[in-house]
Structure 1
C-alpha cells in the first residue's frame, strides 16, 4: 500500500504534465513544453490562434497565426522562408530559453527567435495577435525578449508598429507573399519612410508604386479622413530611438487588419460579424490616382474627372502631344520661370494630397506666416504647407524641386492646403478677372435669366395645355378615338391602345412618371388597371419628322422578336399624340450602371459584364442576319441598352433604324442621326452606313462596358475619341489591364477581358472592310481558344482646334449637296 500511495501522486503529476504539454486551447508554452503539428495555442480571449497550416494545395507546412473567426486569414508566418515538407513540426522552448521550430530531419531547426534566457522563458499568444517570449516562468513577467510584432509578414494588426527601430537597426515592414500558396517574401513591400513628415510607401522591389502622403497630425494627406473610421486611432511617432506608424482600435471587439497582397494592393478590412466575412474599408488601388506619380512632376490627379490629370495652375504639359494621348508621365513645367527679385508669390490650392516629402524640409516651430516668409526668401523653395493640422497649424514643411504625386479630393477635409510658388506674371493671369470679363459675365447672366424666364413661361403653358387635353380625353374618350393613321394592314396584329387609357396609366403624363428623355420625346412609366407596368414613349410634336420615326419603329419592332430586343406591346395615334407602349425594364438602362455611382458599378462584376456583351452581340446578330428583316440600328449605345430584372440586356429605340435588302451592302443618307462618340467615321464624314456602322458602335460599347468610361468625343484640349485612343495605346504597350474599370479589380479570367478588349478594338477599326461581321464577333467571344487577328488603328474624327471643329459642323450643315444633321440623343433607361 505504501508503495502504491507513493507511485500514484507521481503518476498523476506526469499525466498532468503530459496533458498540459500536448493540449490545444492554452495560450502559453512553458520551458520544456512543446506544440506539435495538429495542436494550437489560442489567445485568452479566443481571438487569435497559433498553429501549423498549409496554404492552398501546396502541401508545405508553416507555423503561423490566424484569426479564430477565419482560419484562412493568416496574419503572421514564422518559417516563411523555410517550410516543412511534412507534419513533423514541433514548436518548443529549449533549455537555453530560445523558442525554436524543429522538424524532419530530426532536430533540424526551421526557425528560431535567436534569444536566450538564463532564468528560463515563457511564450504566450496575446489577444492582440502578438506572440511574445518573456524571461522567467510567469506568463506576465518582465519585458519581451522577443515579439512577433517586431517581425511582421504581410499583415499589420492594431498595436503593431511599422517603421525603423534605430536601437536594433531593424526595419519593421510588411512584405507580401510570393503568391497565394507561397508565403515567402514577394516583390511588394509596405514601409514607412521617416524623411520629411513620415509617409508610408508601397514598393515593387525598389520602385515606388503607391504613397499614402505625409502625416499631418491627424491622418495621411493622401488617404480618406479617419473620421470615416471612428473605430481607429492612428499615430506617427518620430524620435531618436525609432520612427513608426501605428493604429489602435477604440472598441475592444473590433477585428481589423491592414494587408498587402501579392499583387501589391494594400487593403484595410474590418470583420463583419453578421456576414461572417471581411468588409473592405479602403484599398490603395481604389482609383487611378492611387498610382504613384500618375500625372508626373507638377501634375495633379483627379479621379472624378473625365481626364484624370491636369497641371498645377501656372504650369503646362511638358509634352503636349503625349498629354493629348493621355500619357501623363512626363508631367508639367512652369509657364514662367521664377524670379526671386521680381515679385514671386504664392497661390493656395485646397484639398490636396501633399507632394512627396523626400525633397522637403520640416520646420517644427514655425507657423505659416513665418513659413511663407522663409520660403519666399529661399529662391529654391517652390511650395509650403502646414506640417501639423492637429496643432493649430503649428509647424510647416517646404519643398524644393518638382512636386511629385499630388491629387485633389472632392471634399476639402480629405486633403490639405498647400501654397504653390508662382511667377508674378502667372499670378496676374490667374488673379481677378478683368473689367471686360466682368462685363461679359454680367451680360451672360442677364441673358440666361431672360431665357430661363421664357422657358418657365413656355413650360407652364405647355403643361396646362397637356393637362387640359388629358383631362378632356379621360372625361370623353370617344372624342379622341385611336386611329391607325398610316400604319399598314400588316400591323393589325399589334394592339392599338386608347389615349385615355394611357393617360390614366401615366397620371396624365405627369413629370413624376417621367423616366427618360430621348432624341424624339420623353418616356413615362405607366401602370394599367390590371397592374401591368409599361413604358410609354411619347414622341415630341416639335420634331416634324417624328411621325416617320414613329411609323418606322412600329413597323420594325412589331416584326422583331428576340430575347435581347425590347418588346413592343402596342401603339397609339390620336388626339395629336403618337405613343409607343413597351414592356417595362425595372433596371433602367446600361449607362446608369457602367457610368453611375460606385454602388451601381459594383453590381456589375466581370461575369455580368461579359454576359451583357454577349447578349448585345446576340441581339445584333438577330437584327443583321436572323430576323425576317435585315435591320441597321444606327444608334447603338449604352443608353439604348435596357436591363430587365435579371440584368439581361435588351436593345431598344429603333426610331432611326433602316431596313436593308438581303443583298444590299450599304446605303447613303443626307440626314445623319445618332450619337457623337458611337458613330463610325464613314457615317459622320459621308453619310454612308451599313452593318459595319453598327459594328463600330458595338465596339465602342464593349470598351465602355470594360472600362466604365464614356467615349467622350471632343474637348478643348483633346479632340480625338479619348477612350478608343487610350485603349489602342494601352493594347500596343501591353498594358490593357489599366483599361479596366476601377470597380473590377483584376478578374481571375483575365484572358477573357483581353479577348473582349481585342474584339472591341477590331470592331472600331478605321476601315469598315477591316471590321468583323457580327457572326464573326459572336464566334470570337464564344470561342475562347480561337486566335484573334491584331486590330489596326481605331477610327476617330480628330479636328486640331475648336475653330476647325466648329467649321466642320458648319460645312456639314451648309453643304449644297446634302444636309447632314447630327442628332445628339440622350435617352435614359425606361
Structure 2
C-alpha cells in the first residue's frame, strides 16, 4: 500500500505538469512557419520560416508605440522588409492575425474590427498561411496539388524594401502595379512621397520620384541591363517584358550573400549586403550617387560629365540659353540650338559616345532597324533631332523629336551607348572646317617639333665629337720627379727661363 501511495500524483504537480506541457506545445506552435484555419497569432507570437531566415509578428518602429504586423530578418530583427497594416496602426498590444469566415487573412484590433485583410478573390477548401524562407508570406490551399500557385502573397504588395524574389513591375492580367514606396518616417511605415517603379515609354526604365517629380532614372533597358547603370557587384538584373507582363527582379551571383535595397524617406536608394555568418549589414551603394545622377542636372540639350569642371556642357550645335546662369554654374535653363534646323541638304550628325541615353519623352521606336537604316530614317524626317540604337545587339532604332534631357557620360567601360545629334548644314560645315583647320595646324606643328628633335639630336652628336677631339689635343704627358730633375740639370739657374705666377720656369735639355 505504501508503494501505491508513493505513486499517487499530487494535484499540484499534475497541474504544474499540464501547464508546462501546454506552454511547451504553444512554443512549438509559435515556432512553426504555418498558421492553419483554426489558429491565430497574437501580439508576442511569431511565425518563423523553415530555414530561420525570416520572422513574422508584431513590432513597433523606431520610437513609436503603435503596433504593426510585419516580416523581418530573424538574424537582424530591426530590419523590417514588409508591413501589413502600414496605414492602420494598432494602438495597443491586442492585435490578432487570424482567418475570416470567407477564409481570408485578417488583422483584428481590440474591438475585433478588421484593420487589414489579404483581399484574396480566390477561395480555398483548407487555407493555410505559410512564411517561406524567402520572406514571402503566402496563403495556400493545403488540399491543392499545385504547389506553385498561391491564393495571395505578400511579395505582391511591396513596401520600402526590395529583396531577392520580389518583383517590381506591372501585371495587366491581375492589375497589380508593384513598386517601392518609402516610409513616411523611421517611426511611421505609412506611405511616404517617394516611389521607385518601372516606367514603360516604348522601352522600360526604372524611375525614382519624389512627390510625383522625377529625381533619378537609370536609362532604358538595352537587352542586357538598364542603359545608365553598371553591372551590380552582387547581383544581376532580370527583366520580363511581354504584352501582358513587365517586371524586373534581381538574381544574386552568390547565394551566401544576402542583398536588400531600401528606399528611404529622403528619396535615396540604399543597397546593403549581409555576408554569411555575419550579423551586420554592410552598405554597398547609394542612388543618386553624384550630381550627374540627379535628373536633368544640366537642363535640356546638354551632357553631364562628372570628371569635368564645370560638369555641364552643351551638346554640339547648342549654346547656353542663359549666359548669366551659366556663369554662376546654374544650368537649369539648359541649352538651345546655335542655328535652327532647316531640313536642307548637307545636314548630318555629331556622335556622342558612351552615355546614358536621354529620357524617352517624345520618341519613336523600331526594333528591327540597324544603325545605317536608323540614320537614314532620322535624316529624312525633319522633326527628328537625334537617334540611337536601343539594343546592345546592334538593332532597334530610337529617334527623339523634342528636347533631350538627362544625358550623362558614363566613365565605366562597356556600359553606356552612343547617340547621334542632328546638326544643320552650316553647323556640319563649320565642324568639318574646324576639323580641317586642326589637321592643318597639327601637320606643321608636328613637322616643327620633329625638326627640332632632329636638330637637338644632331647638335648633341657634334658636341660629343668636339669634346672628344679637344680632350685628345690638350692631354699632357706625365713625368716623375727624377726625370724632371735630370732634364733641368737639378734645377740649375743656367736653365731657368724666368719666374711665373706659379714659380720658376726651366728649360729642359
TM range, smaller chain: 0.7 to 0.9
Equivalence for 1:254: 257
- Name the structure, 1 or 2, with higher relative contact order (CA <8 Å, separation 6+): 2
1:425 aligns with 2:422: no
Q: Distance in 1 between matches of 2:140 and 2:418?
A: 47
- Which of 76, 79, 90 aligns to 1:73? It is 79
1:161 aligns with 2:164: no
Secondary structure in 1 aligned to 2:352? strand
Structure 1 pair 251–272 and aligned structure 2 pair: CA distance change class (3 A): closer
Q: Distance in 2 between matches of 1:182 and 1:337?
A: 53
1:114 aligns with 2:115: no
Equivalence for 2:272: 269
Residue deviations 1:516-556 (CA, integer Å, cap 9, x gap):
xxxxxxxxxxxxxxxxxxxxxxxxxxxxxxxxxxxxxxxxx
* Post-superposition offset of 1:145: 1.1
Structure 1 pair 143–273 and aligned structure 2 pair: CA distance change class (3 A): closer
Q: Distance in 2 between matches of 1:252 and 1:438?
A: 56
Q: Distance in 2 between matches of 1:129 and 1:308?
A: 43
Residue deviations 1:288-337 (CA, integer Å, cap 9, x gap):
01111111111111112121111111111111111111110111111222
Superposition map of 1:416-565 within 5 A = 416-431=417-432, 433=434, 436-445=437-446
Aligned residues: 442
Is residue 43–residue 126 contact of structure 1 (8 Å, CA) maintained in 2?
Answer: yes
**Higher strand share goes to which structure?**
2
Under a length normalisation based on structure 2, what TM-score does the superposition of the two structures give?
Answer: 0.80
Residue deviations 1:236-272 (CA, integer Å, cap 9, x gap):
2232222222212233222111221010001222223
Under a length normalisation based on structure 1, what TM-score does the superposition of the two structures give?
Answer: 0.50
Q: Distance in 1 between matches of 2:202 and 2:37?
A: 45
- Which of 307, 311, 321 aligns to 1:308? It is 311
Structure 1 pair 250–436 and aligned structure 2 pair: CA distance change class (3 A): closer
Equivalence for 1:35: 41
1:414 aligns with 2:415: yes
Is residue 95–residue 120 contact of structure 1 (8 Å, CA) maintained in 2?
Answer: no
- Which of 117, 130, 151 aligns to 1:145? It is 151
* Post-superposition offset of 1:152: 0.1
* Post-superposition offset of 1:439: 4.1
Structure 1 pair 453–67 and aligned structure 2 pair: CA distance change class (3 A): farther
Q: Distance in 2 between matches of 1:152 and 1:448?
A: 66
Structure 2 gap ranges (5+): 1-16, 461-509
Equivalence for 2:286: 283
Superposition map of 1:300-699 within 5 A = 300-389=303-392, 392-431=393-432, 433=434, 436-445=437-446
Structure 1 pair 395–344 and aligned structure 2 pair: CA distance change class (3 A): same
Q: Distance in 2 between matches of 1:384 and 1:247?
A: 30
* Post-superposition offset of 1:274: 6.8
User: CA RMSD of the aligned region, Å?
Assistant: 3.0
Q: Distance in 2 between matches of 1:434 and 1:216?
A: 33
Secondary structure in 2 aligned to 1:71? coil
Is residue 168–residue 179 contact of structure 2 (8 Å, CA) maintained in 1?
Answer: yes
Superposition map of 1:77-88 within 5 A = 77-88=83-94
Equivalence for 2:243: 240
Structure 1 pair 396–282 and aligned structure 2 pair: CA distance change class (3 A): farther
Q: Distance in 1 between matches of 2:340 and 2:300?
A: 16
Is residue 120–residue 136 contact of structure 1 (8 Å, CA) maintained in 2?
Answer: yes
* Post-superposition offset of 1:448: 6.2
- Which of 190, 209, 213 aligns to 1:184? It is 190
- Which of 90, 96, 117 aligns to 1:90? It is 96
Is residue 344–residue 425 contact of structure 2 (8 Å, CA) maintained in 1?
Answer: no
